[in-house]
């Protein structure tokens, strides 16, 4: 419940940042794309990534393209808001895996996760209330991860019948098993 409350609080704060300007770490992201052999070319009003000389696998390209597409959408607006940066973080979160077996190559995962961390750092520095809400959210995630690790099984804490699954697992833990 605290995790859901903290998540909602972050969303409320992010909504208040629609008119607040924040700098996105574009230079570092572009340099890291370049290091991976991804070149960006401008066609009309679009920026198109070219993966021909890239070490990224075909399954990596979709998430990287989506982040670039959203980034260009933000840039084309003229300036980036705190809300835009928050949304970009969410897009990255939807394309990478945290604390589980990663579906992307290590290079692509590192690229996107590093970019997300830099975006979060920009938001945290510019908006202390956003930072505080993120700290609370992170603490709830860590607590939930510890519960799952202590039980020793993979339990979906958002799934149906989680109370029964946890109960069975905790009874096992307390028995001779």
Taking only the tens place, the pLDDT of each residue in 55-103 is: 899 999 999 999 999 998 888 888 899 999 999 999 999 888 876 667 8
The residue written with tokens 């202390």 in the block is: 128
Alpha carbon distance 72, 57 (integer Å): 22
Q: What is the per-residue pLDDT across 105-159, written as a single tens digit (0 to 9) for each?
A: 889 999 999 999 999 999 999 999 999 999 999 998 888 777 777 666 666 666 7
Contacts for 32 with CB less than 8 Å, ≥ 6 apart = 111, 114, 115
Alpha carbon distance 77, 24 (integer Å): 13
Contacts for 108 with CB less than 8 Å, ≥ 6 apart = 56, 57, 60, 63, 64
Alpha carbon distance 152, 157 (integer Å): 13
Q: What average pLDDT score do residues 36-53 get?
A: 87
Alpha carbon distance 90, 75 (integer Å): 17
Question: What tokens does 118 get?
Answer: 């830099």
Say how many C-beta atoms besides its own lie within 10 A of residue 91's C-beta. 16
* Residue 91 pLDDT: 94
* Residue 76 pLDDT: 84
């Amino acid at each position: 419940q605290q995790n859901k409350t903290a998540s909602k609080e972050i969303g409320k704060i992010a909504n208040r940042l629609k008119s607040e300007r924040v700098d996105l770490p574009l230079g570092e992201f572009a340099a890291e794309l370049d290091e991976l052999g991804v070149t960006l070319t401008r066609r009309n009003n679009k920026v198109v990534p070219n993966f021909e000389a890239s070490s990224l696998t075909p399954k990596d390209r979709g998430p990287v393209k989506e982040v670039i597409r959203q980034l260009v959408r933000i840039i084309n607006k003229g300036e980036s808001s705190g809300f835009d940066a928050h949304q970009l973080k969410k897009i990255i979160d939807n394309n990478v895996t945290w604390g589980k077996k990663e579906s992307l190559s290590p290079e692509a995962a590192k690229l996107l996760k590093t970019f997300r961390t830099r975006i979060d750092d920009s938001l945290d520095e510019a908006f202390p209330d956003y930072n505080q809400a993120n700290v609370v959210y992170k603490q709830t995630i860590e607590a939930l991860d510890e519960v799952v690790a202590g039980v020793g099984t993979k339990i979906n804490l958002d799934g149906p019948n989680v109370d029964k699954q946890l109960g069975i697992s905790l009874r096992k833990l307390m028995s001779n098993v």
